[in-house]
């Protein structure tokens, strides 16, 4: 495919995504160059997507951080960081790269392609971040923000539904430390069943009061269940901060 053909395809691609035309496609071409490709054709590594990936990564984290900060005013830094980590993970970014058809533009060496490079999550994710960097430098921040939020909305919603599953013990610990600089206490209530098929019952206490109980096949899982139930209880009672 010639450069003019690629530029035409970039134009179609950007219009499809709602960005309109661009007079300069050099940044988008750079955003699609994997390091193996620039080595293969003997051009400087600075011509690969790595610098734009750096830019796109920063812009993406800012957009997602702002979104989560405004949407969840009662969540602390620890929980917000975990949510952001889920959203900007390679598996999520690779999914979106494939969803919008970005993989059709990625340039890599013949050997990298033979080894399945076009399907590697890391390459797809890096190319997606580089693409965001190119969009930011070509258009502006607000255009990138609108694109990210509108395209990530379904995944963000799915991740939001899992928030109580993101290490509830740590969530509860951060909550109690914020309140009184103390940790919740987990007390084993009972253990039933055989040695190979046990059921543990654990109660979690804070400030001398029981918050909830949990059950599991071992102490750790029972503590996690108790913490999850405690977080749910505190939220239902309007006590969660």
Q: Does residue 157 fall inside a structural domain?
A: yes
- Per-residue pLDDT tens over the stretch 6-46: 888 888 998 888 887 777 889 999 999 999 999 999 998 89
Contacts of 95 (CB under 8 A, 6+ apart): 155
Task: For residue 59, give the CATH number of its domain.
Answer: 1.10.1520.10
Task: Decide which of 134, 163, 192 is a domain's last residue.
Answer: 163
Q: Which two tokens stand for residue 37?
A: 């490709």
Show the DSSP H helices in 162-218 as ranges.
Answer: 168-180
Indicate the residue among 132, 163, 194 that finishes a domain: 163
Number of domains in the chain: 2
pTM: 0.70
CA dihedral sign of residues 226, 231, 232, 234: positive
Residue 60: which of 129, 123, 14, 121 has the closest Cα?
A: 129
Question: CA–CA separation, 91 vs 19, rounded Å?
Answer: 25
Residue 39 CA to residue 45 CA, distance in Å, equals 7
Domain boundary among 142, 163, 184: 163
Q: Is 129 a catalytic residue?
A: yes
Range of the domain at 92: 3-163
145 and 216 share one domain: no
Is 15:21 a contact under the CB 8 Å cutoff?
Answer: yes
28 shares its domain with 92: yes
What is residue 212's DSSP assignment?
Answer: E
Q: Do 116 and 196 lie in a common domain?
A: no
CATH number of the domain bearing residue 209: 3.30.160.20
pLDDT tens track for 63-118? 999 998 998 776 778 778 888 888 899 998 999 999 999 999 999 999 998 888 88
Tell me the per-residue pLDDT of 123-180, one tens digit each, with 9 for 90 and over. Answer: 999 999 999 999 999 999 999 999 998 877 777 777 766 665 667 888 898 889 888 8
Q: Are residues 126 and 183 in the same domain?
A: no
57 assigned to active site: yes
Under 8 Å CB-to-CB from 241, ≥6 apart: which residues?
74, 175, 178, 179
Of 57, 86, 112, 145, the catalytic one is 57
What is the C-alpha separation between 199 and 177, in angstroms, rounded? Answer: 30
100 & 128 share domain: yes
Q: In terms of domains, do 232 and 177 share one?
A: yes
Residue 233 and residue 211 in contact, taking contact as beta carbons nearer than 8 Å: yes
Q: Is the pLDDT of residue 212 over 80?
A: yes
Residue 241 falls within a domain, yes or no? no
Supply the pLDDT for residue 183: 92
Q: Tell me the pLDDT of the chain averaged across its residues.
A: 88
Co-location of 50 and 151 in the same domain: yes
pLDDT of residue 162: 66
Whole-angstrom CA distances from 193 to 70, 104, 206 are 47, 56, 28
One domain, residues 189 and 136: no
Are 21 and 112 members of one domain? Answer: yes
Domain identity same for 66 and 158 = yes
- Whether the CB-CB separation of 134 and 10 falls below 8 Å is answered with no
Q: Work out whether strand 209-216 and strand 185-193 pair parallel, antiparallel, or are unpaired.
A: unpaired
Active-site residue among 29, 53, 112, 129?
129
Residues 10, 116: one domain? yes
């Amino acid at each position: 495919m010639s450069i003019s053909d690629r530029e035409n395809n970039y134009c179609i691609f950007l219009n499809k995504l709602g960005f309109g035309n661009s007079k300069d496609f050099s940044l988008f071409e750079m955003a699609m160059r994997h390091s193996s490709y620039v080595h293969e054709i003997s051009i400087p590594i600075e011509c690969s997507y790595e610098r734009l990936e750096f830019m796109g990564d920063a812009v993406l984290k800012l957009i997602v951080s702002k979104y989560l900060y405004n949407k969840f005013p009662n969540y602390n830094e620890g929980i917000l960081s975990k949510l952001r980590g889920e959203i900007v993970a390679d598996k999520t970014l690779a999914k979106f790269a494939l969803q919008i058809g970005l993989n059709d533009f990625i340039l890599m060496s013949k050997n990298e392609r033979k080894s399945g490079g076009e399907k590697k999550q890391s390459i797809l994710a890096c190319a997606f971040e580089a693409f965001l960097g190119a969009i930011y430098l070509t258009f502006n921040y607000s255009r990138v923000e609108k694109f990210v939020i509108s395209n990530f909305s379904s995944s963000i919603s799915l991740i939001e539904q899992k928030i109580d599953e993101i290490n509830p013990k740590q969530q509860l610990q951060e909550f109690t430390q914020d309140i009184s600089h103390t940790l919740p206490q987990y007390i084993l209530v009972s253990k039933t069943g055989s040695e190979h098929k046990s059921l543990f019952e654990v109660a979690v206490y804070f400030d001398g009061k029981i918050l909830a109980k949990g059950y599991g096949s071992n102490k750790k899982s029972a503590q996690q269940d108790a913490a999850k139930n405690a977080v749910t209880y505190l939220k239902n009672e309007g006590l969660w901060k």
